[in-house]
Chain A
């Protein structure tokens, strides 16, 4: 069995097993709330690969992308500043710790009051929640940069923007990516949550609407789509991360072997 085939087999193995079990167990189900899997899958293909893809899934994904990007840019910037200047960190820490402890879903009603019920509010909810893991990981990554590397950079006159580009960002990138990964999972959750209360389109909106109108197979289908999207986003993220952190993985491998 070739390595690729084996990897694909591992990745799809458990889901395939679980789906099969689900299929078998639910095939004769007459329970209203747990319809047979074949019916759910049929609904999924019929509903979600049609106009819903552009009407609901796309807007949701765009809001997700916007919220995530805003969070990433602002959190990495602030994280670098905090990680570099000890005084700034001490100054901001109490406020940051307080704000961070508030769960974003709790803030949604307040955000609705302040920002309304359009796309801006949803993007802000996503961004607000995603900022924290990225910020804290970035600050830690920058703070923990090797002193010898820092001295080397100073010796050769690598300061300012060059230092940021060649030392700080690459050096903190493993930590930054760890924060981004956490933020991605959070972003998907917040994307759905932001559409639960006041929305006119979106994946979360569609799922909740199906639930409220007792269109149960549609609801299940929507949840499967959500899971699928989460999985695909995670794959894309891993691909990007492996590309950017190839040096880091190599370094760790070398360290482990020695």
Chain B
């Protein structure tokens, strides 16, 4: 479904040149839920912007269902970290969710159904007439998720969507993502800095190195398909996987710069 090959991004400044991303190559199959995790400043957001077509890479390519991504492709939804700034404040919740569908020229009846379904799926069925600034942070992010999901995308990209909400809301939203993914089987790439979150959510965890970024490792998460905050997170396998990811991320810097092959 999504093929990323040899992505490289170099920022040319007046004083210095910054190689944000060196070489990223990975593939997402249809219906997969993969998490991308890495240390701060490792270019996670840059990567997501390139994959979503908002930014052009210096070299490398992104293929969505075999088609080259040059500029935001139809069939991709993005949920941004700054939920407050990604919703249009002059429109109601319903209008916000409906706008991309109108743009996609979906007929009115189907639009209404998609909007209603996605809003109730995120638990905001009765908030459709409210304005985004009347809602709490967690609810605003739910609206953004509902909008992304109502769009019926081929690939759903999420850029650290829960970084700016409190821990309990984050736990609820994580479960919401898993539920939605089970219902809709949409291919999802979830970027986060939170190791626990990545292991809890993903079928796979792609671990990024520090800048200049490459993929250090691709770990398969063999936790059960039905997960919950209490039991999954206290299972021994979760702890093992978490430790693996943590170790990879915090490997000494010299090893990485020396270009030692990843085990």
Chain B residues with CB under 8 Å of A156's CB are 72, 77, 99-100, 103, 151
Q: Are A254 and B133 in contact (CB under 8 A)?
A: yes
Residue of B80, B99, B133, B134 near A151 (CB, 8 A) is B80
Chain A residues with CB under 8 Å of B77's CB are 155-156
A162 at the interface (CB under 8 A from B): yes
A146 at the interface (CB under 8 A from B): yes
Bound complex: CA A151 to CA B51 (Å): 13
Bound complex: CA A247 to CA B133 (Å): 9
Chain A residues 222-256 with CB under 8 Å of chain B are 247-248, 250-251, 254-255
Contacts A146-B85, A254-B133: A152 and B80 contacting too (C-beta < 8 A)? yes
Least CB separation from B84: chain A residue: A148
Bound complex: CA A248 to CA B77 (Å): 27
Q: Are B54 and A157 in contact (CB under 8 A)?
A: no
B104 at the interface (CB under 8 A from A): yes
Q: Are B85 and A166 in contact (CB under 8 A)?
A: no
Question: When each residue 211-254 of chain B gets 1 if its CB lies under 8 Å from chain A and 0 otherwise, what string results?
Answer: 00000000000000000000000000000000000000000000
Chain B residues with CB under 8 Å of A78's CB are none
Least CB separation from A253: chain B residue: B133
CB distance from B238 to the nearest CB of A (A): 33
Chain B residues 116-149 with CB under 8 Å of chain A are 131, 133-134
Contacts A152-B78, A155-B77, A157-B72: A255 and B133 contacting too (C-beta < 8 A)? yes
Chain A residues with CB under 8 Å of B203's CB are none
Q: Are B100 and A157 in contact (CB under 8 A)?
A: yes
A154 at the interface (CB under 8 A from B): yes
Residue of B54, B86, B88, B151 near A166 (CB, 8 A) is B88
Chain A residues with CB under 8 Å of B49's CB are 151
Chain B residues with CB under 8 Å of A146's CB are 85
Interface size of B by CB at 8 A reads 26
Q: Are B86 and A152 in contact (CB under 8 A)?
A: yes
CB distance from A251 to the nearest CB of B (A): 4
A170 at the interface (CB under 8 A from B): yes
A186 at the interface (CB under 8 A from B): no
Residue of B76, B89, B99 near A251 (CB, 8 A) is B89
Which of B49, B76, B77, B133: most chain A CB closer than 10 A?
B133
Least CB separation from B151: chain A residue: A156
A158 at the interface (CB under 8 A from B): yes
Chain B residues 9-50 with CB under 8 Å of chain A are 49
Bound complex: CA A158 to CA B71 (Å): 12
Q: Are A247 and B131 in contact (CB under 8 A)?
A: yes
Chain A residues with CB under 8 Å of B133's CB are 250-251, 254-255
Chain A residues 144-187 with CB under 8 Å of chain B are 146, 148-149, 151-152, 154-158, 162, 166-167, 170-171, 173
Residue of B53, B80, B89, B103 near A162 (CB, 8 A) is B103
Question: When each residue 1-13 of chain B gets 1 if its CB lies under 8 Å from chain A and 0 otherwise, what string results?
Answer: 0000000000000
Question: When each residue 79-95 of chain B gets 1 if its CB lies under 8 Å from chain A and 0 otherwise, what string results?
Answer: 01010011011110000
Chain B residues with CB under 8 Å of A158's CB are 99-100, 103
Chain A residues with CB under 8 Å of B52's CB are 155
Residue of B82, B85, B90, B100 near A170 (CB, 8 A) is B90
CB distance from A13 to the nearest CB of B (A): 34
Question: Which 10 pairs between the two chains have the least Cβ-Cβ distance?
Answer: A156-B100, A148-B85, A170-B90, A254-B133, A247-B90, A251-B133, A155-B78, A152-B86, A155-B72, A251-B89
A interface residues with partner B (beta carbon < 8 Å): 146, 148-149, 151-152, 154-158, 162, 166-167, 170-171, 173, 247-248, 250-251, 254-255
What 13 new A-B contacts, CB under 8 Å, besides A154-B53, A155-B54, A157-B104? A148-B80, A149-B86, A151-B49, A155-B52, A155-B72, A155-B77, A156-B99, A157-B74, A171-B90, A247-B89, A247-B91, A250-B133, A254-B134
B interface residues with partner A (beta carbon < 8 Å): 49, 52-54, 71-72, 74, 76-78, 80, 82, 85-86, 88-91, 99-100, 103-104, 131, 133-134, 151
